[in-house]
Structures are given as C-alpha cells and as structure tokens.
Amino acid sequence: MALSVTDVVAPDTGQVVGQVPLLAEDQVPDVVGTADRAFRSWSATSLERRCQVLLDLATALAERAPALAEEYSRQHGKPVAEAKIEIDRAVDTVCWTAQAVGATTRPRTLPNRPGLAGRELRVEPAGPVLAIVPWNFAAVILARKVAPALAMGCPIIVKGPEETPCVAQAFQAAADEVGCPPGTLQTVFAEPAVVRQLVRSPRVRQISFTGSTRVGRIIAALAAENLTPCVLELGGHAPVIVTAGADLDLAAKTLVPAKFAATGQSCGSPSRFLLDRRIHDEFVDRFCHGLDGHSMGPLNSARRRDHVHRLVLDALRRGAVLRRGGTLPDTPGFHYPATVLTDVPRDAAILAEEPFGPVAPMLVYEDDDAAVAIANDCDLALSAYVFGEPGHATELAAQIDAGSVTVNAVPTAFPDAPLGGRRASGYGYEGGDEGLLAFGRLKILQTGGNLR
C-alpha cells in the first residue's frame, strides 16, 4: 500500500490531471523480495511460454494503443499522433524481442580442449532487474527494458516516470491481463530517496537506467556498492554536420521534424548544428522556412522550459543571433517556441549542456577537421548526424566519437539495433542482441572424462 501520492500535471495547461501513488521506503524490501521469489519460477518457465506471454502482451498493448495515446499525449505534451507512433514502436519492440531471444540465448558449443569431453557456453538469466524509465519516451524505452528482461527469464521492477505514468500503468494492466505471473512485472513510482534504496538492494542483480547524466552518476555510484551491473542510457547532445555537398532540401526537410519532434525532448535530438560556411546562409534560410506552419506541443514541465530559456538567454548574451522564437509565451502551460540561433559562440552553455528542448543552435565551420573537432568537443556522445555527399559524409561519420552516427537521415531507434552512449552518455547497450544479453549472465559448462 502506497503512503503518498504525487500530482500528474498536463503540460498544455499546467493543470493537475491526476495523481500517482508513491512507493514508501518501508515497502522496498517487499517489492524486491517479491521479484526475488518470482525469479525462481519465471527463470524456470520455458522459453516458449515466456515468448508467448510477450506476444500476448504485445496484442493487449496494441488494443489499448488508441486510448493510451490520448492519455499519454495529455500527460507528456506531445501530439496524439506522435504518442501513437511511439506506442506502436513499443509493441513492435515486444514482438521483435519474442522472436529474437531464442537465437540470442542458444547454447554454443566451443571447440574441445585436451582433458575435456565438451565445452558449452550458456546464457542464464541475470536475476531480478530494476528498470528506471524516463518520461520522454515512456513507451518505447519501457518496452526496450521490460521485453528483454522478461524474455531472458528475469522478473523486473519498473520505476515508472511520475510525469507520464499512464504508459507503465497500461503495461502492468496488460501484463496482468495476459497472465504474466504475479511478481514478474511490478510497476512502482517513487521519490528519489526510495529510488536510491531500490538501487542499493543486494537482491537486485541488474539495473537499467535511462535518464540524465547527473542522475546516472548517482545510480552508478550506488550500484557499485554491491557491484550490481548497470546499463546507463544517459543524456545526448547530437552534433549534425551539414557539409557543402549536402542536399540542402533533404537536410532541412529531415532536420526540422527531427529537431522539433517531442518538442526537442529526445536524447537523440539533433542539437548542435555545424554548418559549412559555403552553405550556411542557404541552410539557415531553408531550415527557418521549414518551420512555417510547423506545430508542436509544450515542454513537459516549467523546469524544462526555464532550462531551455536560460540556455537561449546565455547564448544571446554571448553574441548569438536570434533567427526564430526565443521568447517566453504568455500562455498557460509550458509552451516554448521553436527557436533558431546562429553564430553561437563556442563558449555558450548551450553547446555543452543538453538543451532538451526546441532550440537549434547553429555555428559555422571552415574545414572537415574543424567540423569533426567541434562535433567531438562535448562530453555527451550518444548520437550524431552528417549530411553530405555519401562517400564524404561517411568518412566524417567514421571520425565521430558517438554510439550511433547516421548519414543523410535521422532514423528512430529500431528494435534490432543496440543503442548505447559513450563517455558522459553512459555505458552498455539497449536494443538488439546486446540489449537482451544485458539481462543474462554467461556460464561456461565444461565436462571432463576423455583423459585417455
């Protein structure tokens, strides 16, 4: 039984639209103990049965998707259509995982060695998992944690986002409905102090955290107390290099919706625009023109909006030029206009801190070496983009230090591709075989007996 609640606020109006129960500190041992007990039976459940539960879960989620998209949009601020696309991607992720897990976890025979009859490499479930899910992609990131954990035989405790709780709640309801055994998936919401207690619990065997770099460092330090492995998917500040050979029409038409999707609140959002001097003016014109008639939702909270505005004001104070937006609207809720800054000086805070909002800071580069140097001159190294003649752009992409680099496109994260950051963007992978294996442990089983 939860002891307290927190308000859920609609970003469009700033009004309270609901409440979510919070886990109390003294409930943590119960939650972790339940996951630990569920581990024994769930890890012994056949792979076929676990995959069937996942496929049933996907069907139950797909049925809920239209109504859920409406509620998710209300709590998040993103348009209903965007919310629906994300939920559909979450459903796809669950299905892909059920189809992939068999091949990923198949035991592998290793070449024999003298004195042994056989050697086999097995993948076993890691144990109870704690997943901390952010509000900004509350559906797809939840699916990228829940589906592989369950597929691998691990019960999972989801610490859902208090800002957008409806998605984690819908997953829980769907899992209960399709016969996911009690304790296998537990959804909780909690204050930071209780989150830290969950992280420190020795019976949690794997942590999967997606959130800011600031909180990621706290989680990693606490997890180290029990040497609990973590996957940390942290902040990003993606550079986008637009070279002189780029198709500027394609670049602008791709980058406007990519930049302002989810009102810029995406870890992979293009957020540092590095423009070859020769195409600078034309690209800026096309990009700003692409904003005419473009609509987007509010930011998720006053805290987020104020952070974005602070970064914009800092850049302007240091000499950046305001091409679009940049003013706080006098309307209810947490809206902020699509903002374009050019001539952003290298010491502006917005080039070091993740803006996580609808701002496109742009600056000029003189040659390839300078473009790569600026792209890599940021601790956050999650994703990056290059627009240009394909051969040249691919050469630049190879020199960028980031977990994913895309040439002439800004795709979504596909279920079969491992996504992970470098340096301050975290470590470990989510998605693909690597994302499944994060919830497994390897065992080498060696058998003696051929000593003759």
**Residues forming the active site:** 233, 267
> Binding to ligand NAD by residue 137, rule CB under 6 A?
yes
Going by their DSSP bridges, the two strands 321-324 and 230-233 should be labelled as unpaired
> Binding to ligand NAD by residue 27, rule CB under 6 A?
no
| Residue from 425, 263, 274, 234 nearest 356 by CA | 263
Of 37, 119, 122, 196, the residue at the interface with ligand NAD (CB under 6 A) is: 196
> Binding to ligand NAD by residue 220, rule CB under 6 A?
no
Give the pair of three-digit tokens for residue 392.
Answer: 């040249």
How far is the C-alpha of 13 from the C-alpha of 260, rounded, in Å?
20
Nearer to ligand NAD, 215 or 371 (CB): 215
Cα dihedral 202, 207, 211, 214, rounded to 10, equals 50
Site for ligand NAD in 349-378 (CB under 6 A): 354, 356
> Binding to ligand NAD by residue 421, rule CB under 6 A?
yes
CB of 202 to ligand NAD, least distance (A): 18
> Binding to ligand NAD by residue 218, rule CB under 6 A?
yes
> Binding to ligand NAD by residue 263, rule CB under 6 A?
no
Of 192, 293, 391, 448, the residue at the interface with ligand NAD (CB under 6 A) is: 192
CB of 305 to ligand NAD, least distance (A): 13
Cα dihedral 27, 207, 74, 330, rounded to 10, equals 100
DSSP states along 5-44? EEEEE-TTT--EEEEEEE--GGGHHHHHHHHHHHHHHHHH
Nearer to ligand NAD, 105 or 271 (CB): 271
DSSP state of 112: P
DSSP state of 3: -
Q: Residue 116: is it exposed, middle or buried by C-beta count within 10 angstroms (0-12/13-18/19+)?
A: middle
How far is the C-alpha of 269 from the C-alpha of 291, rounded, in Å?
16
Site for ligand NAD in 152-181 (CB under 6 A): 159, 161
Residue 446: what are its φ and ψ, rounded to 5°? -115, 135
How far is the C-alpha of 385 from the C-alpha of 237, rounded, in Å?
11
Amino acid at 287: F
CB-CB contact of 255 with 362 (8 Å): no
Helix (H, G, I), strand (E, B) or coil at 357: coil
CB of 58 to ligand NAD, least distance (A): 21
CB of 171 to ligand NAD, least distance (A): 16
> Binding to ligand NAD by residue 387, rule CB under 6 A?
no
> Strands, DSSP E only, in 165-267?
185-188, 206-210, 230-233, 238-242
CB of 326 to ligand NAD, least distance (A): 22
Residue 268: what are its φ and ψ, rounded to 5°? -100, 10
Nearer to ligand NAD, 74 or 159 (CB): 159
CB-CB contact of 11 with 334 (8 Å): yes
Binding mask 234-253 for ligand NAD (x = CB under 6 A): xxx-----------------
Indicate if the alpha-carbon torsion angle 60, 138, 131, 96 is positive or negative.
Answer: positive
Of 68, 95, 132, 296, the residue at the interface with ligand NAD (CB under 6 A) is: 132
Q: Which stretch binds ligand NAD (CB under 6 A): 70-78, 100-108, 113-121, 190-198?
A: 190-198
> Binding to ligand NAD by residue 424, rule CB under 6 A?
no
How far is the C-alpha of 39 from the C-alpha of 34, rounded, in Å?
9
Number of residues that bind ligand NAD (CB under 6 A): 26
How far is the C-alpha of 66 from the C-alpha of 401, rounded, in Å?
39
| Residue from 322, 253, 250 nearest 291 by CA | 253
Nearer to ligand NAD, 125 or 161 (CB): 161
Q: Which stretch binds ligand NAD (CB under 6 A): 60-68, 123-131, 233-241, 254-262?
A: 233-241
Of 242, 382, 424, 438, the residue at the interface with ligand NAD (CB under 6 A) is: 382
CB of 144 to ligand NAD, least distance (A): 8
| Residue from 219, 183, 188, 186 nearest 201 by CA | 219
Site for ligand NAD in 198-217 (CB under 6 A): 210-212, 215
Q: Give residue number: closest CB to ligand NAD.
A: 211
CB of 383 to ligand NAD, least distance (A): 9
Nearer to ligand NAD, 95 or 419 (CB): 419
> Binding to ligand NAD by residue 135, rule CB under 6 A?
yes
Nearer to ligand NAD, 134 or 148 (CB): 134
Amino acid at 21: P
CB of 86 to ligand NAD, least distance (A): 12
Per the listing, tokens 């019960």 go with 155
Note the residues at the interface with ligand NAD (CB under 6 A): 132, 134-137, 141, 159, 161, 192, 195-196, 210-212, 215, 218, 233-236, 267, 354, 356, 382, 419, 421
